[in-house]
Amino acid sequence: MTWSFPVGHLFGSQLRIHATFFLLLLWIGVAAYLDSGAAAAVQNVLFIVALFACVVAHELGHALTARRYGIATPDITLLPIGGMARLERMPEKPLQEITVALAGPAVSVAIWAILSLAFGAATRLDVLVQFDDPQQNFLSRLAAVNLFLALFNLLPAFPMDGGRVFRAGLSLFTDRITATRIAAGAGQALAFGLGFWGLTSGNPILLLIAVFVFMAAAAERSDVTLHMTARQMLARQAMITAYESLSPGDSLQAAAAALIRTTQREFPVLGPNGAPVGFLTRDALFHALAAKDPDQTVGHAMIAPVPGVDLGAPLDKALDALHHAQAPAMAVTDAAGRMLGYITRENIGELMVLAGRD
């Protein structure tokens, strides 16, 4: 995710923090300072840090449960509105998806139970409503918010965990695309409700959550539709075969000339035997030219390594490989490893649009 940076690893997943998370800390600290002074500001900032530690534990619940089914979680990102564990994929077997989805809320409930039973934290509605009030007990606030997060995430609408449980349950009776559309529609309806509440109450956080929920629901619906449609196609149907390639030893000026005379956004970089060794994207070329290094070549600026598939590979496998490798394109090669064409996310999307019109 852009505007995020790594801060370490937890159980095999990279922990990342989005830059806007610090804006939240600043806002919380300044608001508390103006209202109650420096001590309140420090306490509220520490509360947000503790809360987001609980959010990380929630996301680890998803990640560690998904690992049981052979699904890795490359990273967990902290955002101002919560956390996001980026699983390589969600399990498509309904019972497995339900287990992974419920693991996160189960961790939040466990934290609430520990704080309540072991430390005597009180869970009252007034504590939850005034969770940003430093006069309220620290542990009681933390317990109340964890319980709220668990219950909120169980709402049967995407992108909440309850939406995934809802989708998995629907998948027992209908196809996955239809089930996703219903759950995503519920998520967008919830987003409208949150947005209206935020507008009428003047709460910017609710508006931010509403926008996130709406966009995440739409993205989930699009992603599942794309994968299910791609599963019925092969890599050869989506690959670009008319392209201009470069060599690792070519100069950046030669690459710039190729960029001007073509409409390509990325250029395959081929070795002497015709095998792909990297891709030079337009952005990478601009960045390299800005460095003004006369000795830099295409080989220095290209993005490598190159993920590859053969002609007969299912298109959804190519799509997954593109996502996992975070690569600009996927090479399609013959048995000898020579490049026959390449696939990008954009031309897969174009193929899906055309397939939908048939």
Q: Is the pLDDT of residue 33 over 60?
A: yes
The arithmetic mean of pLDDT across residues 7-25, rounded, is: 81
What pLDDT, on a 0 to 100 scale, did the predictor assign at position 81?
Answer: 66
The arithmetic mean of pLDDT across residues 202-216, rounded, is: 80
Percent of the chain residues topping a pLDDT of 90:
18
* Contact by Cβ (8 Å): 288, 296: yes
Distance CA 159, CA 167 (A): 11
Residue with more model confidence, 131 or 173: 173
The arithmetic mean of pLDDT across residues 276-283, rounded, is: 91
Q: What is the dihedral of CA 293, 297, 300, 303, to 10 degrees?
A: 120
Q: Which span out of 127-136, 200-209, 249-258, 321-330 was modeled with the highest average pLDDT?
A: 249-258
Kindly report the pTM of this predicted structure.
Answer: 0.71
Q: How is residue 6 written in tokens?
A: 């790594």
CB under 8 Å to 186, separation ≥6 — which residues?
156, 157, 158, 163, 166
Residue with more model confidence, 204 or 310: 310
* H or E stretch covering 333: strand 330-333
CB atoms under 10 Å from CB of 354, counted, come to 9
Check whether the bond before 159 is cis (ω within 30° of 0). yes
Q: Is the pLDDT of residue 271 over 70?
A: yes
Q: pLDDT band at 358, cuts 50/70/90?
A: very low
Residue with more model confidence, 350 or 108: 108
Parse the chain into domains and list their residue ranges: 4-154, 165-230, 235-357
* Contact by Cβ (8 Å): 157, 94: no
Distance CA 164, CA 170 (A): 10
* Contact by Cβ (8 Å): 76, 65: no
Q: Which CATH number fits domain 235-357: 3.10.580.10, 3.40.50.300, 3.30.1130.10, 1.25.60.10?
A: 3.10.580.10
Residue with more model confidence, 342 or 222: 342
Weakest-pLDDT range from 237-251, 320-334, 343-357: 343-357
Q: Is the pLDDT of residue 131 over 70?
A: no
The arithmetic mean of pLDDT across residues 190-201, rounded, is: 87
Q: Is the pLDDT of residue 109 over 90?
A: yes
State the chain's mean pLDDT as an integer. 83
Residue with tokens 């490049």: 339
| Edge-to-edge strands, sheet with 339-343 | 308-310, 330-333, 339-343
Q: pLDDT band at 111, cuts 50/70/90?
A: very high
Query: What is residue 8's three-state secondary structure?
Result: strand
What pLDDT, on a 0 to 100 scale, did the predictor assign at position 184?
Answer: 87
Q: Exposed (0-12), middle (13-18) or buried (19+): which is 57, by Cβ within 10 Å? A: middle
Q: Is the pLDDT of residue 92 over 60?
A: yes
Q: Which span out of 91-105, 136-150, 224-238 was modeled with the highest average pLDDT?
A: 91-105
Q: pLDDT band at 246, cuts 50/70/90?
A: very high
* Contact by Cβ (8 Å): 86, 76: yes
What pLDDT, on a 0 to 100 scale, did the predictor assign at position 65?
Answer: 93
